[in-house]
A and B are shown apart, each in its own frame.
Chain A
Amino acid sequence: MANNKKYWVGLEELHETEEFQIAQENEFAPSKSVDEFLSDTKDSTDPTSRRDFLKFLGFGVTAATIAACETPVIKSIPYANKPEEITPGIPNYYASTYYDGNDYASVLVKTREGRPIFIKPNSSSGQVLNARINSSVLSLYDSTRLRGPLANGEPSSWVEVDDKVREGLKKAADSGKQIAILSHTIISPSTKALIGKFKEKYGEDTVRTIAYDPLSYRGMRIANERCFGEAFIPDYDFSKAKVVVSIAADFLNDWLMTGSFTSQYASRRKPEGEWMSRHYQFESIMSLTGTNADKRAAIKPSQEHDLALAIHDELAGMMGASKAGAKTDELPMDLVKAAAKDLYANRGSSLVIASCNDPDLQVIVNGINQMLGNYGSTIRTDVELFVKDGRDEDVAALINDMKAGKVGALLCYGVNPAYTWPGANAFKEGLEKVDMSLSFASWGDETASLCNYVCPDHHYLESWNDHYPKTGQYALTQPTISPLYDTRQMQDSLMAWAEMDGNYHDFIREVWKRYAGEMAQEEVLFDDFWYNSLRRGSVYVELPSSGTPEFDSAALSRAVASAKSKKAPADGYEVVLYTKVGIGAGTQAVNPWLQELPDPITKITWDNYITMHPADVESFGFKMHYGQELPASLAKLSLNDVELTLPVIAQPGQKRGTVGVALGYGRGANEEEVGRAAFRTTSNGSFERDSDGKKVPIGANAYPLVSTASGLLVCHRSGASIEDTGQTFSIAATQTHHTLMGRSSVLRDTDLQQFKTAEPSTYNPPHVLPIHEGGKVVDKAVKEVDLWQNHPVEGVGHRWGLSIDLSTCTGCSACVTACHSENNVPVVGKDEVRRGRDMHWLRIDRYYSSPMNMELAEDEGKGVISAYREMEVPQYDNPETIHMPMMCQHCNHAPCETVCPVAATTHSNEGLNQMTYNRCIGTRYCANNCPYKVRRFNWFNYKAYNKFVGVNPAQDEMARMVLNPDVTVRSRGVMEKCSMCVQRIQAGKLDAKMKGKPVEDGAVQTACAEACPTQAIRFGDLNDTKSVVRKEHEDKRAYYALEEIGVKPNVSYKVKVRNS
């Protein structure tokens, strides 16, 4: 259709005036020519008045001044050619695998504009992450990592180093000496194949590989060899175990494949399930697993054999088998009997495990499991674990060979024996006699600094690798960023020295080609298989079961005899060495996120310490409490020639006569370049130095205390003495008050019996208020009584909420580090944590039970003041423990919102309590008025103030790259707190909008919910009647913390149920 509309620019055009028509003819508007302008005398002849002159002068000076102020130039380099897969603002996820010799997990790496910034569990693998793994992304950007190879401590080039190393290797091979590769347990089929090639090059007999795990499970393998004729470790299935008896095994923190065990265990900790497992724990220290036990008793490490025998005997009694005749004098026999009874009642679906590296104990435990018929059900005989295959005796032999000068070349991969080996001096002595020593360490660590060459390996996020952690499970690691520094993958180095062509990536593909048929179990094109595997991260293959191996009962009787003939422990304290949730074995001790992560039990950050039973602490006259201005006593622990000076902490639940010390601390004791966060800093941010001017490491290295007496690495010893140094030492803890003070509206727990039989109102009583209505007093539920107008969020649009199941929360703290990483939470360092200024948006409160409560006080006729005093003291011997994740409760009637004078914190129409940093003026009124105390204030400019130089990643030009670009880095003087990952909600909504669908339940996950290995934290839309979180909120176990104050939180908790 023709368009008759006419557009005109002005009335002149509309009326077609004469002037318009003339102007129309000239294409350009008439203007003065330059000549005309210059020759126009009017402008130039006008005298410039004094006033004008001053105006010009003023303007000129000001303009010149302003122009002289240089604005900082921030360089950013745009993509000249945009990579196809990268869209700025849109994250890409890559499946990969984390393995560092201790922890193994399939992960998904979130990258933004090519930078990995977040590690989350690869849910398709069914595996979960712990705090150490999801913090590992920060280590990638550590600016203290080596930036290239070192030759004799001096920076060198790869070409040069390669020549020298090849020469050294040849020399070693020619001289008939050994070439030893000392590594953590290698589970990579390709690496193993590659080492095979390397052996071909330098001689099958010359090259030796020695696997060394500082946290050894050798005893377990030996025990299985004795019982079954094969040195294997079976996989365990906690989801089938109705009764779990753990003898000091911390399987929720760091025991074999914790990642799998945690989720299996938690799946049976829900009281609503078909059945709920019962968990007995016998241990000396208060472990994370112990805090989750239904029944727990403290024993000394030297009693573990007796305890296992006692359980054996009880079972034997019930089964009519012969007893071993255990010494039961000092054992918690009522609990042993109860455990045995439960085990017997659940034969075939129970599990007994022990952590001790002593083969005798493990054989007895195997014997018990065999008696109970657990092999084939809770203990999988068809799936074997290939991790933790370190051979302690080989390491000892290697060190002897080194000392005897029989080792021509030593290549250290993923191990740091100069730090972790108990006789580190012997190792160092041997190292001097090795002709060529080399380390693949990423830092100039304790071992690397002593080696001739350091050939830094890539970070795992820069590497290719494959893994075979257990039968039937193949996994791949793929790089998610180009190498940041001039590092080279260990395998590529080996290939270079073996003078092989190609690279490791191609090599893995070659290896996988060989296995593709077996793995894929059907005919596929290799490339399809490869890229699919890469996309998924791992491949599972069901392999036929080889059947239950024959149990050699003679092994059991030998072990019983040997256990009974064990010497009594030496006098003095028994020392238990354990690993903390954050620091683990110490490989990531320089990671500030992990140093700042409060230990789930003690809530102490940035230190290791001696844990001791409170009565023992009192008997020494050490300080019982620690706090901001209450330092702990400093004690000297000595055992033979090893001395450790550490602060003493009174730990409820610890066995009297034992002390616990965490491994993994005291890195860089000789100022090795292990990273910034390994060293103590002073309050002005510089490193603390001792009298010799050396940097002081954080904590003390407890590895020298590891026992090697039996030829195996055993993490406990007897005969230690404790001495008061008379000095004190400041402790930085995020929680200094340990009991709940009977506040059942904060935290609720019950036992399974009551949960099953009683009305919910007995264990989850509703809050009611007596209200006058129509002249009568009526009891009304708190939620119906309201002074305020409701926010229009119920039933309208989204209403985001969280639900936290206290029954399945194990306190593992993976959510805390995930939140840290997702939300750019600043790290503030020890001094600030001590001052009660930790910045965690999500914390886990840990409460111990107290022997006193108000009812008891009334019965005993105690006054209220003394009752409260006593309620502050936890039960010393065996407290019940609860972990309670606490974050912003996103109250619908938020007390923080009403008090902000500038409306910087407000309620969103999706039920979120949101914080507008730009608007905040920092009165801290909101934090004071928060009943949950979850608001965090930026006391300093954490991203620039020099106090935080060494600790806060945001101050390091490399580590800054880990920051999530979707989350503002807060400036000083503003308040911050949990946002319920609003950036993720927003992204999820946009995604749904693009797809034209409503947001699906589960499509958006907060970082904490995603990281939670037990799904204790659930997130979703409360307005979605079918959502998981809505069901959880309506559950009969659900309650709102402090519901009676009427703030109407969007976060609900579920009553903790114990199967006791």
Chain B
Amino acid sequence: MHKEAAIREPLILGDKSYHDITNDVVGPIEGKASKTWYLLVSIAGLISLWGLGCIVYLIATGIGVWGLNKTVGWAWDITNFVWWVGIGHAGTLISAVLLLFRQKWRMAINRSAEAMTIFAVMMAALFPGIHMGRIWVAYWVLPLPNTFGSLWVNFNSPLLWDVFAISTYFSVSLVFWYIGLIPDFATIRDRMTKPLAKKIYGILSFGWSGKAKNWTRFEEVSLVLAGLATPLVFSVHSIVSFDFATSVIPGWHTTIFPPYFVSGAVFSGFAMVLTLLLIMRKVMRLENYITIKHVEYMNIVIIVTGSIVGVAYITELFISWYSGVEYESYAFINRFSGPYFWAYWAMMTCNVISPQLFWFKKLRTNLTFTFIISIVVNIGMWFERFVIIVTSIHRDYVPSSWSMFYPTWVDIGIFIGTIGIFFTLFLLFARFFPVLALNELKTILKVSGEKYKKEDH
């Protein structure tokens, strides 16, 4: 087993025993849910219902209930899609990439981060579906053998690549997450006294018996899946960026997009993880597991990716000028000085300036500040996608077609609705699933210097 130096700071505070970990994680599942949980889940549920209502109205009436027009064919729909996919990046990055890099601190956060990923990707996948004019034929994007003659999908289309990228990413993430859950489900099963719950957790744990053989296979599968998932982390958002990068529209047609999108995605993903975990550690009293150290590490990732994103923004501006292309340079001048300048500057402030504050240790270890910045970053990242999508097409080549985009209540309703669905799912997860990878956590309980544990906490 992994061994670390005695002077290394522990990852789990509070002198926990193995049993304590099990109690801390499984306890809330066994007990009754708090009133706060019921309140939160009702609010999130109501918002979800509102969102679903808007979706039903959209599908029943037509895309015209959104604010789109002949010039701006995508706006909030695809903005939300890219935003949610971006958020869905952190989980797999944390569990796969950090696993490969043997970053043990990931163990306290990977479970919820992965859950967040799954739910975010589900929200993301919703949008390309409902944004179709004829959702009832959405299955035509799949290369299915069919009776329509020689019809086949168009493999040149980045939207098709999206279909493959997102579905692959989703399924691998789901499997990876589930594999990790199996031993923990087994632990719950073993402790559970209620017969029905015991049965359910029994089924969910796939007959896990905790034998050495089980553990070896578990480790192997995790490693293999981590190896599979790692390239996916980079491919998904690269492919999403191809939707824009392969087009001819100035402001979309940009080779910098793949790395820029990936770092933006990690940036927003970590911000969302922070938003969720900062609440969760407080509510579920997980301060000893998700420590200031974790928050600080994640904040460092945010500085790094935020800076990459900032460099990308400035590179884009520079290239638009340096290229000497009239349309390209106008597209960017229009971004920061045109009718949507406020969106551009909101994006710049939230994404480039605000994370730089984390250079101060005092700020990046301050939980309230981190929480605020994590929300600011996600607002900024939503604006980034809005800026890329809407401000590029609202004024493209032919000035006669220039227009503006105004969202309708349905646009807003569906976006808010997906946030509601996301939180509903996350709350259900927090109630019924082990929110920490408890069995994995046990492996890092005794790896650091004993002296830290005896200190006051």
Task: Enumerate chain A interface residues (CB-CB to B < 8 A).
Answer: 627-629, 735-737, 739-743, 745-746, 832, 835-838, 843, 845-847, 864-865, 868-869, 884, 886, 895, 898-903, 919-925, 927-929, 931-933, 935-941, 945, 971-975, 1041-1042, 1045, 1047
Partner of B62, one of A864, A900, A972: A972
Distance in angstroms from B156 CB to nearest chain A CB is 5
A945 CA / B64 CA spacing, docked (Å): 11
Asked whether, in the complex, the Cβ of B399 is within 8 Å of the Cβ of A740, the reply is yes
Give chain A residues whose Cβ lies under 8 Å from the Cβ of B141. Answer: 901-902, 921
Asked whether, in the complex, the Cβ of B70 is within 8 Å of the Cβ of A927, the reply is yes
A935 CA / B73 CA spacing, docked (Å): 10
Give chain B residues whose Cβ lies under 8 Å from the Cβ of A899. Answer: 156-159, 246-247
Given A864-B329, A900-B154, 12 more pairs with CB closer than 8 A: A735-B400, A736-B402, A740-B399, A743-B399, A837-B69, A847-B399, A899-B159, A919-B140, A924-B74, A928-B249, A933-B397, A973-B132
Give chain A residues whose Cβ lies under 8 Å from the Cβ of B330. Answer: 741, 868
**Contact mask B371-403 → A, CB, 8 Å, 1/0?**
000000000000000000000010111111111
Interface assignment of B288: CB less than 8 Å from any CB of chain A? no
Asked whether, in the complex, the Cβ of A922 is within 8 Å of the Cβ of B399, the reply is no
Specify which of A745, A898, A975 lies most central, judged by the most chain B CB atoms within 10 Å of its CB.
Answer: A898
With contacts A868-B330, A901-B141 taken as known, whether A920 is within 8 angstroms of B398 at the C-beta atoms is: no
Distance in angstroms from B338 CB to nearest chain A CB is 9
A919 CA / B146 CA spacing, docked (Å): 13
Asked whether, in the complex, the Cβ of A835 is within 8 Å of the Cβ of B137, the reply is no
* Shortest Cβ distance from A1044 into B: residue: B325
A39 CA / B190 CA spacing, docked (Å): 69
Partner of B69, one of A740, A835, A1047: A835
A746 CA / B151 CA spacing, docked (Å): 36
A940 CA / B395 CA spacing, docked (Å): 24
Give chain B residues whose Cβ lies under 8 Å from the Cβ of A1047. Answer: 248
Contact residues of B: prevailing secondary structure: loop
* Shortest Cβ distance from A938 into B: residue: B133
Asked whether, in the complex, the Cβ of A925 is within 8 Å of the Cβ of B73, the reply is yes
Partner of A836, one of B70, B132, B158, B243: B70
Asked whether, in the complex, the Cβ of A865 is within 8 Å of the Cβ of B333, the reply is yes
Asked whether, in the complex, the Cβ of A937 is within 8 Å of the Cβ of B396, the reply is no
Asked whether, in the complex, the Cβ of B159 is within 8 Å of the Cβ of A864, the reply is no
| 18 A-B contacts (beta carbon < 8 Å) | A741-B330, A742-B326, A836-B70, A843-B400, A846-B400, A903-B153, A922-B63, A923-B159, A924-B74, A924-B131, A927-B73, A933-B396, A937-B133, A938-B133, A939-B68, A971-B134, A973-B62, A1042-B398
Asked whether, in the complex, the Cβ of A743 is within 8 Å of the Cβ of B397, the reply is yes
A929 CA / B334 CA spacing, docked (Å): 18
**Contact mask B26-67 → A, CB, 8 Å, 1/0?**
000000000000000000000000000000000001111001
Of all A-B residue pairs in the complex, the 6 with the closest CB atoms, nearest first, are A922-B133, A973-B133, A939-B64, A836-B69, A924-B73, A845-B400
Partner of A919, one of B63, B72, B151, B327: B151
Distance in angstroms from B346 CB to nearest chain A CB is 19
Partner of A746, one of B157, B395, B397: B397
Distance in angstroms from A579 CB to nearest chain B CB is 24
Asked whether, in the complex, the Cβ of A901 is within 8 Å of the Cβ of B160, the reply is yes
Give chain A residues whose Cβ lies under 8 Å from the Cβ of B67. Answer: 835
A50 CA / B359 CA spacing, docked (Å): 78
Distance in angstroms from B253 CB to nearest chain A CB is 9
Interface assignment of B301: CB less than 8 Å from any CB of chain A? no
Interface assignment of B18: CB less than 8 Å from any CB of chain A? no
A847 CA / B398 CA spacing, docked (Å): 11
Asked whether, in the complex, the Cβ of B154 is within 8 Å of the Cβ of A902, the reply is yes
Distance in angstroms from B126 CB to nearest chain A CB is 14
Asked whether, in the complex, the Cβ of B157 is within 8 Å of the Cβ of A900, the reply is yes
Interface assignment of B224: CB less than 8 Å from any CB of chain A? no
Interface assignment of B71: CB less than 8 Å from any CB of chain A? yes
Asked whether, in the complex, the Cβ of A972 is within 8 Å of the Cβ of B133, the reply is yes
Asked whether, in the complex, the Cβ of B157 is within 8 Å of the Cβ of A939, the reply is no
Give chain B residues whose Cβ lies under 8 Å from the Cβ of A739. Answer: 399
Contact residues of A: prevailing secondary structure: loop
Interface assignment of B406: CB less than 8 Å from any CB of chain A? yes
Asked whether, in the complex, the Cβ of A901 is within 8 Å of the Cβ of B393, the reply is no
Interface assignment of B152: CB less than 8 Å from any CB of chain A? yes
Give chain A residues whose Cβ lies under 8 Å from the Cβ of B69. Answer: 628, 835-837
Asked whether, in the complex, the Cβ of A895 is within 8 Å of the Cβ of B248, the reply is yes
Asked whether, in the complex, the Cβ of A925 is within 8 Å of the Cβ of B157, the reply is yes
**Contact mask B269-288 → A, CB, 8 Å, 1/0?**
00000000000000000000
Partner of B140, one of A737, A895, A902, A1045: A902
With contacts A743-B399, A922-B134 taken as known, whether A928 is within 8 angstroms of B73 at the C-beta atoms is: yes
Interface assignment of B138: CB less than 8 Å from any CB of chain A? yes
* Shortest Cβ distance from B140 into A: residue: A902
Interface assignment of B315: CB less than 8 Å from any CB of chain A? no
Asked whether, in the complex, the Cβ of B159 is within 8 Å of the Cβ of A925, the reply is yes
Distance in angstroms from B328 CB to nearest chain A CB is 11
Distance in angstroms from B155 CB to nearest chain A CB is 9
Give chain A residues whose Cβ lies under 8 Å from the Cβ of B329. Answer: 864
Interface assignment of B337: CB less than 8 Å from any CB of chain A? yes
A856 CA / B396 CA spacing, docked (Å): 23
Asked whether, in the complex, the Cβ of A940 is within 8 Å of the Cβ of B61, the reply is yes
A440 CA / B151 CA spacing, docked (Å): 57
Partner of A931, one of B62, B133, B396: B396
Interface assignment of B192: CB less than 8 Å from any CB of chain A? no
Distance in angstroms from A122 CB to nearest chain B CB is 33
Give chain B residues whose Cβ lies under 8 Å from the Cβ of A837. Answer: 64, 69-70
Asked whether, in the complex, the Cβ of B403 is within 8 Å of the Cβ of A836, the reply is yes
A1 CA / B139 CA spacing, docked (Å): 61
A879 CA / B249 CA spacing, docked (Å): 30
Asked whether, in the complex, the Cβ of A924 is within 8 Å of the Cβ of B133, the reply is yes
A921 CA / B137 CA spacing, docked (Å): 6
Interface assignment of B447: CB less than 8 Å from any CB of chain A? no
Asked whether, in the complex, the Cβ of A928 is within 8 Å of the Cβ of B157, the reply is no
Asked whether, in the complex, the Cβ of A923 is within 8 Å of the Cβ of B249, the reply is no
A1045 CA / B282 CA spacing, docked (Å): 55
Asked whether, in the complex, the Cβ of B156 is within 8 Å of the Cβ of A898, the reply is yes
A900 CA / B246 CA spacing, docked (Å): 12
Distance in angstroms from A340 CB to nearest chain B CB is 37
Give chain B residues whose Cβ lies under 8 Å from the Cβ of A845. Answer: 398, 400
Interface assignment of B163: CB less than 8 Å from any CB of chain A? yes
Asked whether, in the complex, the Cβ of B132 is within 8 Å of the Cβ of A746, the reply is no
Give chain A residues whose Cβ lies under 8 Å from the Cβ of B406. Answer: 628-629
Interface assignment of B404: CB less than 8 Å from any CB of chain A? yes
* Shortest Cβ distance from A845 into B: residue: B400
* Shortest Cβ distance from B59 into A: residue: A973
A843 CA / B398 CA spacing, docked (Å): 12
* Shortest Cβ distance from B321 into A: residue: A864
Specify which of A737, A740, A742, A971 lies most central, judged by the most chain B CB atoms within 10 Å of its CB.
Answer: A737
Asked whether, in the complex, the Cβ of A901 is within 8 Å of the Cβ of B403, the reply is no
Give chain B residues whose Cβ lies under 8 Å from the Cβ of A945. Answer: 61-62
* Shortest Cβ distance from A884 into B: residue: B400
Partner of B68, one of A924, A932, A973: A924
Give chain B residues whose Cβ lies under 8 Å from the Cβ of A743. Answer: 326-327, 397-399
With contacts A865-B333, A927-B73 taken as known, whether A921 is within 8 angstroms of B396 at the C-beta atoms is: no
Asked whether, in the complex, the Cβ of B248 is within 8 Å of the Cβ of A1045, the reply is yes
Asked whether, in the complex, the Cβ of A928 is within 8 Å of the Cβ of B133, the reply is no
Give chain A residues whose Cβ lies under 8 Å from the Cβ of B243. Answer: 925
A974 CA / B243 CA spacing, docked (Å): 20
Partner of A932, one of B131, B163, B247, B397: B397
A924 CA / B132 CA spacing, docked (Å): 8
A971 CA / B399 CA spacing, docked (Å): 29
Distance in angstroms from B320 CB to nearest chain A CB is 11
A802 CA / B330 CA spacing, docked (Å): 30
Give chain A residues whose Cβ lies under 8 Å from the Cβ of B132. Answer: 921-923, 973
Distance in angstroms from A372 CB to nearest chain B CB is 40
A924 CA / B401 CA spacing, docked (Å): 16
A837 CA / B67 CA spacing, docked (Å): 10
Distance in angstroms from B143 CB to nearest chain A CB is 10
Asked whether, in the complex, the Cβ of A847 is within 8 Å of the Cβ of B248, the reply is no
Give chain B residues whose Cβ lies under 8 Å from the Cβ of A924. Answer: 63, 68, 73-74, 131, 133
